Amino acid sequence: MTVKHTLLALLNHTPTHGYELRGLMEATLGDHWVINTGQIYSTLSRLERDGLVVRQPASVDEAAERTVYDLTQDGRAELERWYREPLPRTYRLRDAFHAKLMLSFFSGPVPPAGVLQIQRGELLSEMHELTRLRAEADPASELPWLLLLERAIMHLEADLRWLDVCEARLDELRRMPPPRHVSRPRGRPPKRGQPDETS
């Protein structure tokens, strides 16, 4: 999560102070975004140091926490750069369940079909709770939260469909030869011309 760009985006909408930024953040993204005020102030001072935001000279309140910030030209440019750049996906593909399933093919005590079924029940159970939370969310006032839940549901749907695909290929997987250790050189070959550390 990028607090930096969230603050830039909010300040681009309205120049304001740290305390209000926290409230605006919750209003925009949903109140499940737990962020402490300290993190907002430290991010604001970093942004100020980097010339992306500037204190407004005529702050109404002299108290530090009432300092009103605004974007600079550089801040606006950075915000636009962020919007225009696609974000890398953080969803991890290689996971512990994939490893467990592959291991179950040659090493009991639970057969692969059982391993799949246990996981399916667990994911469906989570999906049930997410479905309930989504039904409870108010579509008018909690749309950001509702869409986040929807995203979680769709991820689970994809995971469950992947389990179906694995199940459909159980017979093929069972015919895989059992693993055998093959010795092969690992890692990077040593660079030539480097001094030998052991000598």
Partner 1 sequence: MSELAETMIVTEGLTKAYTDGTEVRALDGVDLSVERGEFVAVMGPSGSGKSTLLNLIGTLDEPTAGGVMVDRVDVSTLQGNALADFRRAKIGFIFQLFNLVPILSAVENVMLPLIPYRRQCKFDLEARARELLDGVGLAERANHLPSQLSGGEQQRVAIARALVNEPAIVLADEPTGNVDTRAGDEVMELLRRVCDEGGRTVVVVTHSPRVAAFADRVYFLKDGAIVDQSRLGGARSLEAIWARLAIG
Which positions touch partner 1 (CB under 8 A)? Answer: 1, 32-35, 117, 120-133, 135, 148, 152-153, 156-157, 160-161, 164
Closer of 55 and 161 to partner 1 (Cβ): 161
Q: How near is the Cβ of 22 to partner 1 at its closest, in Å?
A: 14
User: 123: which strand partners?
Assistant: none
Do β-strands 68-71 and 53-55 pair in parallel, antiparallel, or remain unpaired?
antiparallel
Q: How near is the Cβ of 90 to partner 1 at its closest, in Å?
A: 11
Closer of 64 and 124 to partner 1 (Cβ): 124
C-alpha 193/C-alpha 199 separation (Å) is: 14
Angle formed by the axes of helices 112-136 and 96-104, to 10°? 150
CB 171 within 8 A of CB 113: no
Closer of 31 and 61 to partner 1 (Cβ): 31
Choose among 27, 35, 31, 20: nearest CA to 4.
35
Q: How near is the Cβ of 126 to partner 1 at its closest, in Å?
A: 5
Closer of 4 and 66 to partner 1 (Cβ): 4
CB 132 within 8 A of CB 176: no
Q: How near is the Cβ of 186 to partner 1 at its closest, in Å?
A: 34
Q: Which strand (E) or helix (H) includes residue 54?
A: strand 53-55
Closer of 53 and 123 to partner 1 (Cβ): 123
Q: How near is the Cβ of 118 to partner 1 at its closest, in Å?
A: 9
Structure tokens at 69: 């910030």
Q: Measured on CA atoms in the order 92, 84, 8, 6, is the torsion positive or negative?
A: negative
